[in-house]
Amino acid sequence: MVCVREFRRAIGWLIFPVLLATPVLAHTVKVSGDVAATFHIEPNHNPKAGVPSQAWFGLTRKGGSTIPLSQCNCRLAVYAVPRASNASPVLQPTLKAVNASTFKGVPGADIVFPKAGEYELRLSGTAKAPATFRSFQLNYSVTVGG
């Protein structure tokens, strides 16, 4: 019995550092109408205040085809949380086409959060002809470290 306990302890100490060293790939998926978006922000969903972080949105339409930024009139607004319903965004980053993960040409932005705290990212968009998808609005919560 002692040998089994010691074996488990040894295995635990071998596995623990591996788990710490394994990067966490965090993506958040949301759906609005016939549009879905996979959201990610670097580094590993742990942005820091005052440091540029790249956020990207892997937009797809129902059926799985990618919606590139060239087919979307997209806007990104960043709000501090908590906020009043009529509050203005603290940032409105310019979107650019980025290649991220398996997505090509999807909306992305470099964001510099002004201070640590909670923020809401609101991505909204309408189709540019000849694309056809319904208008959408997606909200993502982000916690920014100091």
Consecutive sets of 10 residues in the chain, 146 residues long: mean pLDDT of each? 45 34 60 95 93 96 93 97 92 96 94 97 95 94 94
Q: What is the strand order of the sheet 136-144 is part of?
A: 72-81, 117-127, 136-144
pLDDT 10s digits, 58-68: 999 988 899 99
Distance of alpha carbon 32 from its chain centroid, rounded? 15
Q: Which helix (H) or strand (E) holds 67?
A: none
Strand, coil or helix: 12: helix
Cα distance between residue 11 and residue 111, in whole Å: 42
- Going along the chain from its start, the domains and CATH numbers come out as 24-144 (2.60.40.3340)
